[in-house]
Amino acid sequence: MPGVARPSPQTERLVALVDAIAARPEDGLTLSEIARHLAVTPATCHPMLVSLSELGWLVRHPVRRTYRLGPALVTVGRAAARGLSVVDLALPGMQRLRDDLGLTCIALAPGETHVTVAEVVRGPSGHGPHVRVGDQIPIAPPLGVGYVSWADEQTLRRWLDGVTSDPAKRARHEEAVRRSRARGYAVEQVTRVETELGRTLAQLDEHLGDHFGDQFGDFTRHSVQGDGHGRAQGSAQGNPQYGTAQADPYPDPGRAPAAVRLRTLLEEIAGELGDTDHDVVLDVDPDREYRLGRIGAGVVDADGDVALVLALHGFAPRTPGDRVADVGRRLAAVAAEVSARLRT
């Protein structure tokens, strides 16, 4: 099993700090408010605030003594925005899929060994992977056919090398990738182990909600009442034929770091366990049912390179094959629409 990345409390604290101040762009936060949010003493976080102010990341008001985001982050934000134009093009289609299907749609920026979450549009139930914009997801066998089907040849070969040493199983995975590309979407199932771990994660979320009370509940309400950028708007009605499930709370890492690390570890285990040849989907059979993990489709730019992978999540435990094909075609149509706009 690959080594799990060690958590970095300092990094988690910095991210939580920036997120908290970004939520109050005009008023800012005082030292005491920041310390309470991070669950540390004012003396502990004061040196970090001083350093960030010297770097221009923060600005301290001379009278109110509050901290706001500083000018140095403007350059960072503009650079990020220039690289996310494809997400802007994809967002209307992602929202349309959410509204029509009641599913969560995630945009993933490709990488060699990871994909990065570029946008999350949650279904009305909030069900789907517990990810946020900026999270990195390993492309690790046996999972990942929904991503690597549109990857470059080097990434695809690396993934296939990690699938199995059995030539027959490797050939089956290669054929699954070929057929996914031909029909425009890839279907990825989940194992029984992944399903059971998913239930455990949901129970952990419920436990965290009970344990951390209002702070956790506030975050949950915030995450399901947003504007579509990584949060559910709650405007669409769930469609029973595609399935819905529990909400997707995500605790503040500054308030529950140990619990969040436990949840992250369980998610990584879910991505690593299971048979490397578990129900690889070659063709979608309308007469059978599928235990879906995700359906993915690639957005291709003018040079023929994958610019984005769109993935749908949040399916019912068993989904009929004709529904799988219908959802896949709709997703592929959105991906093709965005690809066409990139080429104009």
Write the pLDDT tens digit of every residue in 265-316.
655 555 555 444 556 788 888 889 888 888 999 998 888 888 899 999 989 8
Read off the pLDDT of each residue in 187-207 and give the average, rounded to a whole number: 61
Residue 192, C-beta contacts closer than 8 angstroms, at least 6 positions apart: none
pLDDT one-digit tens code per residue, 67-118: 999 988 887 776 666 555 889 899 999 999 999 999 999 999 887 777 889 9
Out of 69-78, 105-114, 138-147, 177-186, the most confident range is 177-186
What is the reported pLDDT for 153?
A: 83
pTM above 0.85, yes or no: no
Share of the chain above pLDDT 90, in %: 26
The third-level CATH classification (topology) of the domain covering 83-342 is Beta-Lactamase (3.30.450)
Q: Does the pLDDT value for residue 140 go beyond 50?
A: yes
What is the reported pLDDT for 94?
A: 96
Domain boundaries, given as residue ranges, for the chain:
9-78, 83-342
The third-level CATH classification (topology) of the domain covering 9-78 is Arc Repressor Mutant, subunit A (1.10.10)
